[in-house]
Amino acid sequence: MAGSRALKNRIRSTKNIRQITRAMEAVSAVKMRKSQAVAIATRPYALTAFSILRAIRASSDQTLAASPLVQKRPVKNSCLVVITSDKGLAGSFNTNVIKQAEKLISQLEHSDILQNIRMSDTGVKVSIVAIGKKGRDYFARRGRTILGEFLGAGDFGAIDETRKISDFLLKLFGEKKTDEVTLVYTNFISALKQEVVVRSILPFSEESLQSIVDSIVPLEGRYANIPRSMELAGVKEGVLKFEPSPKDVLERLLPKFLAVEVYHAILEANASEHSSRMIAMKNASDNAAELAEALNIQFNKNRQAAITKELSEITAGREALSQ
C-alpha cells in the first residue's frame, strides 16, 4: 500500500497533467476550427478549377492527352507524398497515415499489378516525399529513400506557402525521377471522424480527377454536400472559350491545379491533426480525472486506516494501564 506522502505527490502530479491536457485540448479546438474554416473555404475554388479542367477536356479529346503531365509511362520509380504532423500527442493520426503508406509500399514492391495506382509488370522502387517531421523521422530510421522533406507545413493560410511542394513534385515528374506521384494524407470529415486517403495525383487522369472532386465535398458529417463550385458563366453548359487555345490554357492550368490539390490535402490533414489532438487530449483529461479520483479514494482509505490504527493503539494502551 502506497504511503500517504507518495499518494499526495501522485495526486498533485495527476492534477497538473490534467490542467496541461485541458489547456492543450482548448488550444487544439481553436486551431481545429480555424483550420477547418480555411479548408472548407478552399473547396469552392478547387471545385471550380476542376470544372474548368473538365470543360477544357470536353472542348477537344486530344487536348488533355497532349500534356506531358497526363501521359502514363511504365512505372519503375514511384513517389509517395506522406503528410504527417510535426508534433506528437495527436492520438492515432500519424500512426494511421504511416500504416497506410507502409501497406502501399508493400503492395508496390511485391505485387505484380496494383490496379488504379500503377501500370507496370516489374518491381517498383519506392521513394518518399515527407511533409511533416513524424513521417520524415519514421522513414529515415528505416532507411527509405527520402527525395524531399517539408517541415512546418501546418496552419497555412495561403496557397503560395505550399507552392514550393507542388513545384518540387512537378520537377521530379518532369525530370523522370519518378513515374508516378501518390498522396497519402488524412481527410477531414468531422471533428470525430477522419479517414486516410490514398490518391494518385501524377500523371493526371479522368479517374483521379473524379475521386478528387468526390472527396472535396464529404458525403457525411456537418459539411456534407457543401459548398459547391463557384458559378462561372459557361462552365456548366460547356461553352467556355479559351484563348489563345485550350492546349495553352491547359499547360498553365495543370500546374496550378496540382498546387491546389496539394494545398487542399495539407489543409485537410492539418484540420484532421488538430481534431485528433483535441480528442486525444480530452481522453487524457478524462483519464487523469478518473485517476485523481481513484488516488483520492485510496488516500482517504489509507488515512482512515492510519487513524483507526492509532485509536486502536491508544485504546489498547489505556486498557493496559487500567489493569
Q: What is the pLDDT of residue 311?
A: 82
Is the residue at 319 inside a domain? no
DSSP character for 121? S
Measured in whole angstroms, the distance separating CA 70 from the mean position of its chain's CA atoms is 26
Specify the pLDDT at position 78: 92
Residue 317 lies in a domain: no
Residue 311 forms part of a structural domain: no
Instruction: Identify whether the C-beta of residue 155 lies closer than 8 Å to the C-beta of residue 52.
Output: no
**Assigned domain for 2 exists:** no
CB 56 within 8 A of CB 250: yes
CATH at residue 210: 3.40.1380.10
Task: Supply the pLDDT for residue 140.
Answer: 94
Q: Is 214 part of any domain?
A: yes
Cell of 12: 498533485
**Residue 12 placed within a domain:** no
192 against 96, higher pLDDT: 96
> Average pLDDT for residues 113-125, to the nearest whole number?
53
| Residue-wise pLDDT tens digits, 233-256 | 444 445 556 667 667 777 777 888
The average confidence (pLDDT) of the chain is 79
pLDDT of 276 strictly over 70: yes
Look at residue 16 and tell me if it is in a domain: no
**Which has the minimum average pLDDT: 5-9, 53-57, 189-193, 317-321?**
53-57
* H/E element, 61: helix 61-65
Give residue 265's domain range: 25-278
Structural domains in the chain (count):
1
135 pLDDT band, cuts 50/70/90, is very high
Position 195 in a domain: yes
* Beta strand segments in the chain, E: 77-83, 125-131, 146-150, 180-190, 193-202
What the block records as the C-alpha cell of 289 is: 480525472
Low-confidence winner among 41-50, 174-183, 185-194, 293-302 (lowest mean pLDDT): 41-50
Would the pLDDT of 91 be above 50?
yes
Q: Which residues contact 299 (CB under 8 A, 6 or more apart)?
A: 4, 7, 8, 11
* DSSP for 196-220, written as a single string: EEEEEEES--HHHHHHHHHHHS-SS
**Residue found by looking up cell 487513524 in the block:** 307
Contact 183, 14 (CB under 8 A): no
